[in-house]
Chain A
Amino acid sequence: MNILVMLIPISVGLGALGLVAFYWSLTHNQYDDLEGDAHRILSDKYDKSPDGDDS
């Protein structure tokens, strides 16, 4: 049962990592133009950020 002491924090930590990643994507306008992103992947132009200011 001692293994639980490691496994539980690891699993919760991995979940939290996913949560942080989602939060990052949410606050960095990653969901503003889902349709456009689907098309942009076909273009050769490197697309740095969806904010549009540093392209």
Chain B
Amino acid sequence: MSDETASIAVCPACVAFPDDKAKSLGVRRSDELRRIELSLPTIHCAACITGVETALNRLPEVHGARVNLTRKRVTMTVEDIPGIEEHMIGLLTNWGYPARELDSAVLEKENHDKIGRDLLARLAVAGFAAMNVMLLSVSVWSGAEAATRDMMHWVSAFIALPTVAFAGVPFFKNAWSALRVGRLNMDVPISLALVLACGVSLSETMEGGDHAYFDAALSLTFFLLIGRYLDYRTRAVARSAATELAALEVVKTERILPDGSRETVPMDALREGDLVAVPVGGRVPVDGVVVEGQSELDPSMLTGETMPEAVAPGEKAVAGMLNLTGPLVVRAEGLGDETLLAQITRLVEAAETSKNKYTSLAEEAANIYAPLVHLLAAGAFLFWGFYSGDWRLAVNIAAAVLIITCPCALGLAVPAVLTAASGRMFRSGVLLKEGVALERLADVDTVVFDKTGTLTTGTPHLVNGGDVSPDMLSVAAALATGSSHPLSKALRDYAAEQGIAPAGVTDITEEPGMGSRGMLDGQEVRLGRALWCGADAGDVGSTATWLRIGEGEPVVFLFEDTLRPEARDTVADLKKLGLAVELLSGDSEAPVRAMAETLEIENWRAGATPAEKVAHLQELAEAGHKVLMVGDGLNDAAALASAHVSMSPASAVDASRVSADLILVGNDLSEVANSVELARKAKKRIVENFTISAVYNLISIPIALMGYATPLLAALAMSTSSITVSLNAMRLGRKT
């Protein structure tokens, strides 16, 4: 009890919500209105909603704001003033809700959830009709006779026929599109059963016959639509989460105009010869030549190498590299086919087309099931027609066979399991992009990891802190203060951990692309690149920076990429599941070997180019292995696409996230092993479900073939099999 009230009422961040800080943008107003959407990841309670909405609605430029807590977003109708998004983001961030812009063009597509609503409306109509007709049928089953029975049948017909015509449209459409190209799918027997059941029942009703299958036709539609809707929802949730990730990366760059002024433009507006500003901490947007500034570029996303490259005017900068030390101006060159990005895109496309088409379990089942059922029904029709000479009876029996073998359970078998499994994965931070990937994940026998950014966090840490005297460290930490370079941050963190206070260095200035310098006791101290500090760069084997006090001997600081804390356990868990683990990196040999030894991975390979990674995966596939590729960099994108199934952390570059089948939204590597385990369980459930429905059919088909099937029997078989299958699937959702 106390816990509950606490979570509702006491939310310090929200109670402290500043009421009257909302400031109008003030200058320009506009009559044009526009809808914008911002992501608010930290919003979480009733007070947040009211606070944000009230404050936003108080602004004169805002004509309506609404928070969506499920999606953690706010949608606003605002006046079309340039820069309004940035202004709103600033305001919200000030109020304690860090906001991010979402690309409205990408979001536009998902907002109109037409298909989902359409399916839900059909589902509701089918459910309503099925319940009513079932009630009417109960009176027939319990012995209504003559005129009463006929009336019940007529009322059922009036409800059932329009309903099947409306609610069955998705099946009819699919069946037609398959038949038109001369193929069979699951929807062909479904549509045939629906049409035949309605037709036979209608003619029986007219003739005053005993058996009408209206209730069976409707519950068939109802159950199958549930399957369809679950299937759709699973995909919609995944797609919306994936678009969210993509929309968060609004790629804009700063173009420098000939008159020296700067404007923010979207990436694709760049033309060859444009000058682009690359701030510290930003990614180089295009391949080009450095015109101004000195800096170091981190190519790890591109090649997997962690060693930064120094660049100066006249040297090449490649799109995707991270700018570490100084602001740069780059002249765009070759935006077309010859960029590295375009080459990788081509590799990805090639890998996708050469990938074998995977036949999902549902397709396999349909391939066996559809022809079999048609043969059985046709056989029963011909046999009874010639045997008894009563063709009306023959049609009745054929319809009964089709209805009783109805793929209700088959239609629910896969979607119910996928919904349960993907729901559970989603809760633990894994996004499943499509259902088939789960089945493929279950087949996996080898896991190939990329190193940088996947097994490591991509942030360096100091490794030789013990060899350096605390005095030196304190000077280095002082020089590192105020620099956003990842190595500086690592130095500061290490000093803080060891309790070393920064020395009193004064006049600290940052030399772009070189390092930091300052004054200590009348001597100049420098922290930065080897040559600048008078050291011999030589072969230190890893990322390094040097400190020099006055004219003294330079001291080297060595850094290594930080291993993800859960990496070691993940590798061990995967091995326990009987999977072979490999390491495939674009980085140089020494760090890869060290990593492989720490994680006890026997098979490793360093210095692999994107094409070599693909080749290696293809070799494995040819040797009969089913490979799960886990990677994050641009250099992994093609490998991800060519693997049997692939995973990518949410921090990965866009190209990799697009290629990967699963995304680790929570950035927790240990979910790799959990996902494989869950996928295996899910596949087992699917097979179980198929077995269950096959057993039901084995019992009921002979009865139907012999002509003993009644509408009551059909209703019982259909409901029990569907319910058993759904219950079996739901066991998966539980945490056991």
Contacts and interface: CB of A to CB of B under 8 A. Distances in A.
The answer to whether A and B interact is yes
Nearest to A19: B128
Interface in A1-17: 1, 4, 8, 11-12, 15-16
Given A36-B49, A55-B64, A12 B71 contact: no
A39 B57 contact: no
Contacts of B136: 8
Interface stretch (B118-126, B292-300, B332-340): B118-126
A55 B49 CA distance: 13
Contacts of B104: none
Contacts of B138: none
Contact of A27 (B45, B117, B135): B117
A19 B47 CA distance: 34
A33 B70 CA distance: 5
Contacts of A39: 45-46, 49, 69
A53 B70 contact: no
Contact of A53 (B77, B120, B148, B151): B77
B66 A15 contact: no
Given A19-B124, A26-B121, A42 B66 contact: no
Interface string B37-70: 0000000011101100110010000011111111
B132 A12 contact: yes
Contacts of B148: 1, 4
Contacts of A33: 68-71
A55 B124 contact: no
B50 A43 contact: yes
Contact of B66 (A12, A22, A55): A55
A45 B50 contact: yes
A8 B57 CA distance: 51
Nearest to A23: B121
Interface string B608-635: 0000000000000000000000000000
A36 B67 contact: yes
B350 interface: no
A49 B155 CA distance: 38
Contacts of A40: 46, 49
Main SS of chain B's interface residues?
helix
A11 B46 contact: no
Contacts of B67: 36
Interface string A16-48: 101100110011000011111001101101000
B117 A43 contact: no
Nearest to A9: B155
A33 B73 CA distance: 10
A12 B159 contact: yes
A8 B66 contact: no
A55 B128 CA distance: 34
A16 B49 contact: no
A55 B45 CA distance: 19
A45 B57 CA distance: 13
A38 to B, nearest CB: 8
B75 interface: yes
A48 to B, nearest CB: 11
Contact of A35 (B70, B124, B151): B70
Nearest to A5: B151
Interface residues of B, number: 34
A8 B49 contact: no
A16 B70 contact: no
B10 interface: no
Contacts of A16: 128
Contacts of B69: 33, 35-36, 39
B131 interface: yes
Contacts of B68: 32-33, 36
Nearest to B53: A55
A36 B66 CA distance: 10
B16 interface: no
B159 A50 contact: no
Given A52-B66, A52-B75, A42 B46 contact: yes
Contacts of B132: 11-12, 15
B54 A45 contact: yes
B368 interface: no
Contacts of B155: 8, 12
A23 B155 CA distance: 23
Interface in B1-25: 8
A51 B66 contact: yes
B125 A19 contact: yes
Contacts of A36: 49, 67-70
Contacts of B131: 15
Contact of B151 (A4, A12, A55): A4
Contacts of B46: 39-40, 42-43
A54 to B, nearest CB: 7
Contact of A43 (B49, B64, B66, B70): B49
A43 to B, nearest CB: 5
A23 B125 CA distance: 9
A4 B124 CA distance: 25
Nearest to B73: A33
A26 B65 CA distance: 21
A15 B110 CA distance: 32
A8 B135 CA distance: 10
Contacts of A34: 70
A7 to B, nearest CB: 11
B43 to A, nearest CB: 9
A53 B63 CA distance: 7
Contacts of A54: 64
A33 to B, nearest CB: 4
Contacts of A1: 148
B143 to A, nearest CB: 13
A45 B49 CA distance: 11
Interface in B137-194: 148, 151, 155, 159
A4 B54 CA distance: 55
Contacts of A32: 68, 70
A41 to B, nearest CB: 8
A1 B128 CA distance: 24
Contacts of B135: 11
Contacts of B53: 45, 55
Nearest to B113: A32
Contacts of A19: 124-125, 128
Given A8-B136, A36-B69, A45-B50, 17 more contacts: A4-B151, A8-B155, A11-B135, A12-B155, A26-B124, A33-B69, A33-B70, A40-B49, A43-B47, A51-B66, A52-B65, A52-B75, A52-B77, A53-B77, A55-B57, A55-B65, A55-B66
Top-8 shortest CB links A-B: A52-B66, A36-B69, A39-B46, A42-B46, A35-B70, A33-B68, A19-B128, A35-B69
